[in-house]
Structure 1
Amino acid sequence: MPSAPDEPSFSGNGNQGDTPDALGPDECWILAVVDGFIPKIQADGNAPAMETGPDGGSSSLPQNQPLPEKSRLEPKFVVENARRAREEAEAEEDQHRAEKRLRGIAGKTALAEHCDKLSRSIQSFIKFFLGNPTQPHDYPASPSPSKIKAQYWAKTPAEIEYFVSQAEKEIRKNIQSPPFTPAVLKGQHKGQAINSQTKADVERSLALAGISRLTFDWDTQLGANLPWNSAVVDTLATKSIEWIRRSMPLTNQEASQAQAIIQRWFNTKCREIRDSKNISGDNYKKLKDEKATKAQYQQWRKKIRENRCKMLDKVMKENILLAHVVENKDCGSDIEDGDQNTLPLSLSPNWRSSDLTYVLHCLDNMVQAQANHHKTIETNQRIYGRSGTRIKTFKGVRGIPRGLPRDCYANAWWQLLSPFEQETVSQVKPMGLPEISQNLKTRCSATGTSSATEPQPRNKNKRRLEDKSSGVGASGAPAEGSTGAAGGRMNVD
């Protein structure tokens, strides 16, 4: 194979204008690159066919060694893109999960809440015929297997269809309805009264449906469709809607929810009855009262937080950081029962700084000072009244609100944390909480200068009219353990 003709070298030309000295810096750089490629091109042209790889060409020429592979992307760029990809994948997964949940919600019909008037009326209607039970032990026992098997509606569909094909009179003669036994009265009826005509109509319908006494099979599993329970639910749903429509307007859509409302109430009572089987009546009542008290305290805490946020929007609307702190539900104090026949106790967290505590106190005092209506004052007495304050100790950082400004945490508690725990809890700079506390103290505290200039009464035996319900000391701060009657300010936190 003839060799390729030698290419003239740029550096070997006799043209003086092409010399490196006559070229500019850009042309010299290009010339150096081209001079480096020309020997490689000539060597590839002299190599035999199919031997132009690393092993081809003359054995005397050095083989081309692979260049070391270097990353073309900066590490920071690679890491940021990887993190962004993970975030996008998580966001896509969350969006898919939310869309799936919304599709499930959209496919279901909205059921009336258990606290709505319709639900409460249906529940009151059912409890009346169950004897107005006050606790799970008062509910009628489940029907016996013999009573369930003795009912005509428990027969096979083919047998029922055969009887229906006959004359109605012959069916009633062959299948006698069992006598109906009303439930024993256990307590007082709550809600709208049920007259004797309605009571007799419901009992007659239950007897025609084959129900000897009104009760449910409480031992059934969740979701099981037993004939006894289905017959009771259908009868009570029909009769309860007829009874409710006599006193309030009801649409067909609302009336169609009666069976679902009764089924939901039945499932709840089944769970309560199963849980209370091994508990006596007195202990169950005690546990129920404790649950109700705990739920009431949670509502009070929520109401106190809402009142603080509304008051802060009035006095310091521009302070976004403080509004964010007050919005945090973990910044408020917990509530627990006090001694017998006393107001509840306030549990102040040990991580909270004294400045934040005082700011919350001032907001509570402002809310109570603006109360004018007697109902509002009475509500404040119940919500803000405390018999004392206790310190709630937190171990470590568990249960501590994160991301608050540094001056929201007490210094003594903060020093007990490790550097890693401090970074975990908060890295937010202080927001000037001591200055805010001092400004509120100046605004809310009494000056005490007007009493020195006012003339004192001459008669020392005459009693001075004092507001005994204020519970406020000379400095204007709430007194320790104040009960907070009408018009007064109470120590909540």
Structure 2
Amino acid sequence: MDHENDDPMEISDSPSDSDSSTCKATHIQSVKVVVKVTISCLLASNEIDPELLESKAELKEKRRRVKQRAKKDQDQILKIATSRPLPHPTSSLSCSVTRFIKFMMGLNNANSTLPAPPSDDEVSAWTNHIANREAQVANKLSAPSKSNGPAACVSTTGAETAPCLSRSSMNFLRSQKLGKIRNQGLALVKFTSSPDVLSDQPISFQTKRMCEKAFQLKGISRITFEWNARSLAASRWNNTTALVLIESWSSWYKTQMINPKHLEEDIQGIIERWLRTMRGIYRKQIDSKERVEARSPRGLPQHLKDRKKISERRYAAAKAIFPKNSSFTILFKDVRTVSDYEDNVNATLPRTRIIPQWRSQIFTKVAHQLDEAAKQLERDRRKRANLTNLLRRGGIKDEAGEAEDLMEAPERFPADCYNQAYLDGLTSLERSHLKPKAAIGLENFFDSVCKKTTNGHMNTDEPTVANTRASVQN
């Protein structure tokens, strides 16, 4: 055989395609190893350029941000792709859901203060609700019962012997106990109801009580949200609260003879959208509260505004009852006669009134009775509800004697409007500034107001001693 034309070098330099790819991959891998080893050596010898390291770190951070942005965009696309279309926020359905929630939370209008989020104790009580109830049942079950007799016989030496009852008897007694516990029921968590307000929708207070009962059975002590949570999924409390509200709203909505297809809409999505808006409002509310707490409560715009409203209402009530007695009615035109108040930490609870040092007890009683008269004189149901909320009083406390900023006493008032202890504590010069007038008999005015506002207070046929024209004292 002739091998003269065979070139061994040509054969060895013409490998197959797969062998070529393998060689290239091996070469690249070898280069990477060499680069890594070189960088490691340079790092060990401190000969690498710091700018190179910094640029590599910046490049790595840039890649991380790009990936993070891409993931965020993808999540947004996925959320839109999997979400259901929601009705417009101002649609009848959306308004029905949100107004129902506001009614249950005691929110009267857009300016109403949102209730405080659940405390740690409230969340803990709800989280452990089932476990706590199981513990109650176990305690009741293990408690000795006089009617069931001893579970074991006792020997003459005092030592317990084998049980006197058979297993079937023990099971029967246990079943009896369980039935008794079931019939008696277990104590529910103490529920704090929100203030009753009027609603634009025909929602009865019975519906509200049923909704509150549903929350109580879940171990939730009041209706509120964790306002700072970013979504319903981010808060188990919010998710449970929303589901109970949806169930209560659905039951009520079915009775309204409205489009039943509305019940097929994404009601949970409507609530989540509303909560996003409320989260922003709550943040503003907290910021405003922090600014308020940084200042003295005296003279705050909202306090002055509320006190002026109360003063106007009392004056109008006094004019309605005593139209000819200007010497009495004019007293309540002065906003200084209205006590200041402290905002409650829990916005669902009434405010604490601070009784001024200068005001006498009988003058305070007359003022509070005029509040009752003002409510009874208001015919419009909505306005009456707003007025009732304005005049709600929780605790009442006297103004501290050591307070730096005492409430100012009005001048030239009848003497029985002033607290005698306050007058006695003034110097002759300080008292000369007040220039108190002669007493006008506030007790008689108080009795006259009570006759008009309280059933059976006194015989209303008796002549009203205070409702006569009185000259203004100088």
> TM over 0.5, yes or no?
no
Which category of TM-score, normalised to the shorter sequence, fits these structures?
A: 0.3 to 0.5
Higher helix share: 2
> TM-score, normalising length from structure 2?
0.32
**RCO comparison, higher one (Cα < 8 Å, 6+):** 2
Q: Which structure has the larger Rg over C-alpha atoms?
A: 1
> TM-score, normalising length from structure 1?
0.31
